[in-house]
Structure formats: structure tokens, C-alpha cells
Amino acid sequence: MWVSLIVSHLTAGAFVLRFLTPPRRRPAHRAVYVARLEDLPESESVVVEDLRGVPVAVVREGTTIRALSTVCTHLGCRVRWEGNKQRFFCPCHDGIFDREGRVVAGPPPRPLDRYEVRIDKDLVFLTMEEPA
């Protein structure tokens, strides 16, 4: 009887421990096709959504493609690409990010989130995090 009591308590303890400390999983990522290189206008942005619905600005300069979240890191307003000034601008509190997404002016505490870009035979793919 004592043995079964101890085993049942240990089993219950293991379940409680597992509940309190769930295993950490690394988020899965997937390369998603967004456009053909020739369909991306020079120095302008094309906005696509990532797998979680976050709008992403894809900007082409020659063969260089940048993909940045358009969600401002201050309070979450939408930033817009201003190709003539080579910057992202947030109209809510005049936040300014350079073309790499780094904060130049205003209250945003950190750069815009970036997406890895891969070009394969003239096709542009972004690496996106899978929804949980």
C-alpha cells in the first residue's frame, strides 16, 4: 500500500511539474513566396501579410530586397514607406526609421522587425514565423 501511495504521489507531482514548466518550443519558420523580382517596383513598397497577419513592407532597390514589419515599435501604428526620403514614417507620433528599419527620430524604442529575404531564380521568398 505504501509503495502505491508513493508512486501515485510521484506521478501526480510529475504532472504538476510538467504543467508548471511546459517544454519550450522554438517557433517554426517557413519560406513563403511573395512576388517575382520584376513585379516589385523600384524604391517603392509592396505590402504583404505574414502568416500571422502582420503587414510587411517589401522594398526593392536594384537587386536588394528589404522586408520590414509596418507595425511601429512604439504603440503599434502602421508605418509607411516614403521612397523619396528613403525612410519609414509613423504618423502617430512622428516616428522615423531609416531604410534598414533603424530608429532615426521619435519615440520608437527599437527598430522595425525584419524578415529574411531569399531570392531563388527571380522569385522572392520571405522567411516567416508560423502562427502558434
Binding site for ligand FES (CB under 6 A): 72, 74-75, 77, 90, 92-93, 95, 106-108
Closest approach, Cβ 103 to ligand FES, in A, equals: 9
In this complex, which beta carbon is closest to ligand FES, that of residue 75 or of residue 123? 75
Query: What single letter denotes the amino acid at residue 27?
Result: P
Residue 130 half-sphere exposure, CB side, CA atoms within 13 Å? 8
In this complex, which beta carbon is closest to ligand FES, that of residue 90 or of residue 126? 90
And the C-alpha cell for 127?
Answer: 522567411
Closest approach, Cβ 102 to ligand FES, in A, equals: 14
Closest approach, Cβ 115 to ligand FES, in A, equals: 19
In this complex, which beta carbon is closest to ligand FES, that of residue 30 or of residue 110? 110
3-state SS class at 27 = coil
Cα angle, residue 45 at apex, residues 64 and 95 outer, rounded to 5°:
105
Query: What single letter denotes the amino acid at residue 66?
Result: R
